[in-house]
């Protein structure tokens, strides 16, 4: 790990000021991903700005009945907040299915969104990787790509975003609150992460001189009927092969509201709009679930070791919808 200057920011403007002054500086919150990447010399900041003393750890109700999750609230705190558990169980489950309790105690909400891919080759500085070193090539495309993307890939990059939490946030239509020197603005979660395209080095649309202050969850009464289903190679403490965040409201044998997002399949949490469109208004049957899943995965491209994810994703969507429907009937 390269030596760096440690700056402890007392408030948000000091943190932003330090970042504006030094384009090589990095914010540190929980550090669970950044420290690891620094140790591997994938990230080489010459300055680390510690933002942990900023007052951004609150979780509070918004006037419209939504919730505001502080950027620095720890993942474990967020998952266990009673209002999150009651109103957005999909989010609690997604967070609790990620990493380990120790890591969730360190990891912050903002850091979770900003974590980088777990692509093996991204992590190994001796391998070519367009995300780490633009123009150097992609070792994953012809290499071991079991954990890689099947949707929205480019010839430059087939990495996935590793977050579980962000998948639930995508299904919940969250917005990311961002502070910059110019003021506060918000970015819808779907516009926050990017597809790799020709610029895989950019994971998100957040600028270097911008700081996430909170994540807002809109009031979503039907989100009480939601779940997060994660399929992985080891039944705990492993990244997703495929995951599904599903929110479903069924009334009078009809799907009134549905939100679906997939994890482990793309460079960003994958909101399944095509599937949602087919499902909305339909009767909740196994056939329609399968049809919706087929539609969503229609454009999927498999590689040597991850082609199975296409079928697995379809089945996981169906399983998630079936489980929620059964709960409605019960």
Partner 1 sequence: MSFSIEQILRGDLPRGGQSPPAAADPGLLPVSLRINGHDYHLQLESRVSLLDALREFIGLTGTKKGCNQGACGACTVLVDGERVNSCLTFAVMHEGQEITTIEGLGQPDNLHPLQAAFIEHDGFQCGYCTPGQICSALAMLKEVAQGDASLATSDLTKAEVDLTDEEIRERMSGNICRCGAYLGIVDSIRDVYEQQKGQ
Partner 2 sequence: MKTKEVGRPLDRVDGCLKVTGQARYTAEIPVGQVAYGVLVRSTIAKGRIVAYDTKAAEQAPGVLAVITHENAPKRHPTKEFDPSDKEPSASPTTLLVLNTDEVSWHGQPVAVVVAETLDQAEHAAALVRVSYAEAEPARLSLVAEKPRAFVPEKVLNEKPEVKQGNAEEALAAAPFKIDYTYTTPPYSHNAIEAHNTLAYWEGEDQLIVYDSTQYIFGVRKMLSEMFALSEENVRVVSAFVGGAFGSKGRAWPHVGLTAMAAKVVGRPVKVDLPRKDMFYMVGPRTPSEQRVALGADAEGRLQAVIHTGTTASSTSNTFAEHFSFVTRHLYASANILIQQKLVRLDMVPNTFMRAPGEGIGTFALESAMDELAYALRLDPIELRLRNEPGKDPTMHVPFSSRHLKECFAQGAEKFGWNQRNPEPRSQREGPWLIGQGVASAFYPANKRSAEVKVHISIDDTVVLQSATHEMGTGTATVQAQNAADQLGLPVGKVRFEYGDSLLPKANGSFGSTTTITVGGAVELACEDLKRQLLRLAVKHPSSPLHEASYDDLEARDNGLFYKDHPTQGETYAAILAREGKDSLEAQASFPAFLKEKLEEMAYSFHSFGAQFCEVRVHEDTGEVLVSRWVGVYDCGTILNEKTARSQFLGSVTMGIGMALWEETKWDLRDGRIPNSSLSEYHVPVAVGLPRIEVHALSIPDPHTPLGAHGAGEIAVTGAAAAIANAVYHATGKRIRNLPITPDKLL
Residues at the site binding partner 2, with contacts judged by CB under 8 A: 1-3, 39, 41, 118, 120-121, 123-127, 139, 142-144, 147, 231, 233-239, 241, 308, 311-312, 315-316, 318-319
What CA–CA distance (Å, rounded) separates 279 from 294?
A: 12
Binding residues for partner 1 restricted to 244-303, rule: CB under 8 A: none
Q: How far is the CB of 315 from partner 2 (least distance, A)?
A: 4
Q: How many residues does the chain have?
A: 330
| Residue (214 or 318) nearer to partner 2, CB | 318
Q: With CB under 8 A as the contact rule, which of the stretches 99-107, 125-133, 208-216, 318-326 interacts with partner 1?
A: 99-107
By CB under 8 A, name the one of 12, 17, 20, 35 that touches partner 1.
35
Phi and psi at 319, nearest 5°, equal -65, -40
Q: How far is the CB of 313 from partner 2 (least distance, A)?
A: 10
What CA–CA distance (Å, rounded) separates 25 from 166?
A: 25
By CB under 8 A, name the one of 101, 142, 188, 281 that touches partner 1.
101
Query: What count of other Cβ atoms lies within 10 Å of the Cβ of residue 281?
Result: 10
Query: What count of other Cβ atoms lies within 10 Å of the Cβ of residue 238?
Result: 15
| Residue (15 or 79) nearer to partner 2, CB | 79
CB under 5 to 8 A by kind: which of partner 1, partner 2, none does 80 bind? partner 1
When asked if residue 28 is in the footprint of partner 1 (CB under 8 A), the reply is yes
Structure tokens at 127: 């391998």
What CA–CA distance (Å, rounded) separates 14 from 65?
A: 32
| Residue (17 or 137) nearer to partner 2, CB | 137
When asked if residue 202 is in the footprint of partner 1 (CB under 8 A), the reply is no
Q: How far is the CB of 274 from partner 2 (least distance, A)?
A: 21
By CB under 8 A, name the one of 13, 58, 102, 283 that touches partner 1.
102
CB under 5 to 8 A by kind: which of partner 2, partner 1, none does 121 bind? partner 2
CB under 5 to 8 A by kind: which of partner 2, partner 1, none does 301 bind? none
What CA–CA distance (Å, rounded) separates 107 from 300?
A: 31
Q: With CB under 8 A as the contact rule, which of the stretches 72-80, 188-196, 269-277, 321-329 interacts with partner 1?
A: 72-80
Q: With CB under 8 A as the contact rule, which of the stretches 9-17, 28-36, 127-135, 146-154 interacts with partner 1?
A: 28-36
By CB under 8 A, name the one of 99, 141, 187, 214 that touches partner 1.
99
| Residue (88 or 303) nearer to partner 2, CB | 303
What CA–CA distance (Å, rounded) separates 296 from 309?
A: 13
What CA–CA distance (Å, rounded) separates 268 from 258?
A: 20
Contacts with partner 1 by CB under 8 A lie at: 1-6, 28, 30-32, 35-36, 38-39, 48, 50, 52, 76, 79-80, 82, 85-86, 89, 92-93, 96-97, 99-103, 105-106, 236-237
């Amino acid at each position: 790990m390269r030596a760096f200057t440690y700056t402890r920011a007392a408030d948000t403007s000091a943190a932003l000021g330090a970042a504006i002054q030094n384009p090589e500086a990095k914010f540190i919150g929980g550090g669970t991903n950044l420290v690891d990447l620094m140790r591997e010399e994938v990230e080489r900041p010459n300055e680390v700005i510690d933002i942990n003393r900023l007052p951004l750890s609150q979780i509070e109700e918004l006037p419209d009945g939504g919730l505001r999750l502080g950027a620095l609230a720890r993942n474990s705190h967020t998952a266990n907040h009673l209002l999150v558990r009651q109103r957005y169980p999909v989010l609690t489950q997604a967070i609790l299915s990620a990493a380990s309790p120790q890591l969730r105690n360190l990891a912050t909400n903002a850091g979770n969104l900003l974590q980088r891919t777990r692509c093996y080759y991204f992590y190994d500085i001796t391998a070519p990787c367009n995300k780490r070193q633009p123009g150097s090539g992609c070792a994953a495309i012809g290499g071991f790509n079991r954990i890689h993307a099947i949707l929205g890939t480019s010839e430059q990059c087939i990495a996935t975003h590793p977050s579980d939490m962000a998948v639930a946030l995508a299904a919940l239509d969250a917005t990311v609150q961002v502070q910059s020197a110019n003021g506060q603005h918000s970015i819808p979660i779907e516009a926050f992460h990017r597809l790799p395209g020709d610029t895989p080095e950019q994971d998100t649309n957040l600028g270097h001189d911008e700081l996430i202050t909170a994540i807002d969850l809109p009031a979503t009464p039907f989100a009480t009927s939601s779940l997060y289903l994660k399929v992985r190679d080891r039944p705990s403490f492993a990244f997703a092969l495929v995951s599904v965040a599903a929110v479903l409201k069924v009334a009078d044998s009809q799907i009134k509201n549905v939100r679906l997002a997939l994890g482990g399949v793309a460079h960003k949490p994958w909101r399944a709009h095509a599937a949602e469109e087919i499902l909305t208004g339909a009767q909740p049957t196994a056939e329609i679930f399968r049809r919706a899943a087929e539609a969503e995965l229609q454009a999927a491209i498999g590689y040597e070791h991850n082609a199975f994810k296409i079928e697995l994703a379809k089945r996981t969507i169906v399983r998630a919808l079936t489980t929620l429907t059964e709960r409605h009937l019960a």
